[in-house]
Amino acid sequence: MLAVIAALPPVVVLILVFVLPALESSTLLGLVVPGETAVLVGGVVAHGGGLPLWAVIAMAAAGACLGDQIGYLLGRRYGPAVLGRVPAVARRHLDLNRARRLLARRGAAAVLIGRWVAVLRTVVPIIAGASGMRRAAFGWANVAGGLVWATGVALLGYLGAASLHYLERELGIGTHALLAVLVVVALVSLWRRRVRQRR
């Protein structure tokens, strides 16, 4: 996925940096494709000079905030029934009880915390809306969380690309070997997440 997005023209990458985070909680797409994938790649492309880093951060933050706002409004309008319409395949990834407990304990801070966990990032806005969280409280947490998350993930991609280029230049590590390591790390992360969810 990373390699496919990185190979696209920079303007398309920038569009995906906006669209994928926007679709995460508004359509529950984040259960299948985390929006941070596009933002990471946007940071990598920015390091290569294809995009300005500020544009990646701005588009990612705008997409994240818009998607979460739509998710919140869906939760307010339709309540938990929205989550009942999720396909069975995706429903296995949902941890609704965890999201509810987080919101009950932390309130608006849960929106900030949930932004950093893929499954929570997808469902917390909907549950926040369904639980009757005040719009103002959700709004400031959504904007703050979106900005911090977009900046952090884009910088991670940017600095990660810098490190990979340094290793390739100084140690002679080929791009294919580095890509293989990234794929293995991603697969191990997915496997560990699924093991945790089954428990």
46 contacts 53 by C-beta, under 8 angstroms = yes
Candidate from 129-133, 142-146, 179-183 with smallest mean pLDDT? 179-183
For the segment 152-175, the average pLDDT, to the nearest whole number, is: 67
The pair of structure tokens assigned to 111 is: 């929106």
Q: What's the confidence (pLDDT) of residue 167? A: 47
Q: What's the confidence (pLDDT) of residue 22? A: 92
Q: How far is CA 192 from CA 37, 102, 187, 195, 198, in A?
A: 18, 21, 9, 5, 10
pLDDT digits (tens, 9 = 90+) for 27-50: 777 666 778 888 888 998 898 888
- The overall average pLDDT reported for the chain is 79
Query: What pTM was computed for the model?
Result: 0.74
Q: What's the confidence (pLDDT) of residue 182? A: 61
Q: What's the confidence (pLDDT) of residue 173? A: 46
What is the C-alpha to C-alpha distance for residues 22 and 176, in angstroms, rounded to an integer? 31
What is the C-alpha to C-alpha distance for residues 186 and 16, in angstroms, rounded to an integer? 20
Q: What's the confidence (pLDDT) of residue 64? A: 93
Q: What's the confidence (pLDDT) of residue 83? A: 67
Non-local CB neighbours of 128 within 8 Å, separated by 6+ positions: 72, 75, 103, 110, 111, 138
